[in-house]
Amino acid sequence: MSPPMSHDESLGIQSLGQELMRLTVGGLFTLGLGALWLAAVWGTPASLQWLAQSTVLWLFIYFQTARRLTLNRAEPQSALYAQLGWGNRLTLLRSWLIAATGGFLFQAWPEGAWLAWLPGMIYFFGAVLDRVDGFVARRTGQMSQLGNELDTVSDALGMAVAAGLAWSYGQVHWSYLLMGAAYYLFHAGLSVRRMRGLPIYPLPPAMHRRAWAGFQMGYLVVALWPLFYPPVTRIAGFAFMLPTLTGFVIDWLVVSGHLERDSEVTRLRFDRLTLFSHTVLQPGLRLAIITLLAFTLWRVGFPPVVIGGAVWPSIILLGNFALAGTMVLLGIAGRYFCLLLIGLLGWFYISNPMDGVDTVLFCCVVWSMLLGSGKFCLWQEDSHWINRYDGA
């Protein structure tokens, strides 16, 4: 049972609640203005549905924040911050953008040269803020437990909204909805264990969770843009989903006690797995990428793409393939150049249908980007940037 709050702390919570209410009302007003604009460019029925859905999601964020205001402090025993702070305000802005993205659920993809980009661009700006809010919190000296929890709530809601939207647009297979539901299923399982009086074991920190969540958001941004279409978006969804869901399963085995993470036997197994990945799997993925890429380009012949009868796009494409492939093989910023390869392959597959070899190639590129280049690399500073906390 938590100790009773002091009078000053009660006043502080009340002040934070008033600030949150002002931000919430401002968000509702902005959603209303957005609905008026959408009514003019998209139609009144669609805009009203957008307003209703985005309002529900925004109010969900309000209630999730309001019930956590007592966490607006650096540590459990620290003093309460007098204001939400700019880091939390940016997280709330990110949540507002996610709510606005959710307004497009259960509706057809908007048509038009620029209107079709709107859902993906709104989600894109929210994804950018995911990298910014923590930086601002650290630089302004107001890191809080509230910020950590709001970040998790926003990540989970954003994943669920974007996954549902990508599926409704036909960009991903229905199985990708598991990505959107994974967080909620995980915590539902924890709630069941609490109700049954079963123990819940601590989950050790892992840097890959944050990095992989960022890659998932990046993938969903592109999937919501009218730029690439199935089958490449569906194959990419599978490639991004498989390692992340595997991570969720392992985390569940740890918190449920089926996998004793601190035991010597388990630690030894994980060390062996890490060593195998670093020395065999990750370098093997790089070799597979180069081999499959060379085979794919050889069998297609020249020019691999033709735009308006011109062959110069093929020269640019092949030059970039050569650059990215060389860098991946040598392990020079391999994760960055895998990202470049994903974009190049997406362009390549617009003109060249995918088959089994292409599926394996694309999955290898995605997995190399997620896992890193491994051993025998010349420069891996890209991994340090991906894993670092900006502003720390």
List per-residue pLDDT tens for the chain, 392 residues long.
Answer: 455 667 678 899 999 999 999 999 999 999 999 999 999 999 999 999 999 999 999 999 999 999 999 999 999 889 999 999 999 999 999 999 999 999 999 999 999 989 999 999 999 999 999 989 989 999 999 999 999 999 999 999 999 999 999 999 999 999 999 999 999 999 999 999 999 999 999 988 877 888 898 999 999 999 999 999 999 999 999 999 999 999 999 999 999 999 987 889 989 999 999 999 999 999 999 999 999 999 999 999 988 887 777 888 899 999 999 999 999 999 999 999 999 999 999 999 998 999 999 999 999 999 999 999 999 999 988 777 777 655 44
> Where do the H-state alpha helices sit in 76-225?
85-102, 118-139, 145-168, 177-195, 207-223
171-209 as b/e: b if 16+ CB within 10 A: bbbeebbebbebbeeeeeeeeeeeeeeeeeeeeeeeebe
* Rounded Cα distance, 49 and 29, in Å: 16
* Rounded Cα distance, 285 and 290, in Å: 9
* Rounded Cα distance, 156 and 166, in Å: 15
pLDDT the model gives residue 310: 81
Would you say 130 and 69 are in contact if contact means Cβ atoms under 8 Å apart?
Answer: no
Tracing tokens 């599978």 back to the chain, one arrives at 238
pLDDT the model gives residue 380: 84
**Extents of the domains making up the chain:** 7-195+210-247, 265-387
pLDDT the model gives residue 1: 42
Pull the structure tokens for residue 329. 């093989």
Under DSSP, the state recorded for 231 is: T
* Rounded Cα distance, 283 and 313, in Å: 31
pLDDT the model gives residue 381: 81
314: amino acid identity, one letter: S
* Rounded Cα distance, 109 and 171, in Å: 11
Residue 244: closest CA among 387, 374, 367: 367
Whether residue 231 is preceded by a cis peptide bond, meaning omega within 30 degrees of 0, is yes
pLDDT the model gives residue 46: 98
pTM above 0.75, yes or no: yes
